[in-house]
Amino acid sequence: MKAEATVKILNRALSLEYAGIIQYSQNAQLVQGLHREIYHDLFKKLSEECLDHAGKVGRWIVLLDSIPTVEPAAIKQTTDLNEMLRNALELEREAYETYAEALKTAQDNPALRLFLEEMVYDEYLQVDEFEKILGKKNFQASAKEARTHKS
C-alpha cells in the first residue's frame, strides 16, 4: 500500500475535522434568531461529531506509523445563519471528497478501506442534510406523485 499517499490525505481530512470542531462550536455560540435553539443544538452536535471523526482519523494515521497533524484547515467565521449553513455544506463536501480520495488509495488494506467507507458514508449523509436545509434538492418525482392522500 502507498501508505505515504494515504497518510497525506488523512492528515488533510484531520485538518478539516479540527476546523469543523472549532467552526461549528463558534456557530453554536453565535447563532441568533427564532430558530437559535435548533441550530445551536445542530452545530454543537456537528462539532462533537468532528471531534469523534478526528479521533478516529488520528488513530489511523498513527496505525500507519505517522504523526497526526495539529493544524486545523481554514475556519470560516460569520454571525449570519445562512452563511453558517453554506459554510457547513462546503466543509462537509470537502470532507466527503477528501475521504473518497483517501479510499481510492486504500484498496489493498481491507480494514482501512472499511473505515474510510464509513467516513465517506457519514460525510455523504451530512452533505445531503445541508443540501436539504438549504433547499438545494431537485426532486425528480412530479408534485402529483409526491402528493399525500389528502389531495
Interface residues with Fe ion (CB under 5 A) are 53, 92, 95, 123, 126
Question: What gap in Å lies between CA 8 and CA 64, rounded to an integer?
Answer: 11
Query: Measured from the CB atom, is 7 or 46 closer to Fe ion?
Result: 46
Exposure string (b/e) for 51-72, b if CB count within 10 Å is 16 or more? bebbeebbebbeebebebbeeb
Which residue's Cβ has the minimum distance to Fe ion?
53
As given in the structure block, the three cell numbers for residue 34 are 427564532
Q: Which is nearer to Fe ion, 84 or 95 (CB)?
A: 95
CB-wise, 111 or 125, nearer to Fe ion?
125
Judged by DSSP in three states, 140 sits in coil
We find the least distance from the C-beta atom of residue 17 to Fe ion, in angstroms, to be 5
Closest distance to Fe ion from the beta carbon of 23 (Å): 11
Strand locations in the chain, DSSP E? none
Q: How far is the CB of 132 from Fe ion (least distance, A)?
A: 15
Shortest distance in whole angstroms from residue 25 CB to Fe ion: 14
30, with CB counted inside 10 A (0-12, 13-18, 19+), is middle
CA-to-CA distance for 18 and 39, rounded, in angstroms?
Answer: 20
Shortest reach from residue 144's CB to Fe ion, in Å: 35
| CB-based contact 1:59 (threshold 8 Å) | no
* Nearer of residues 11 and 123 to Fe ion, judged by Cβ: 123
Nearer to Fe ion, 57 or 143 (CB): 57
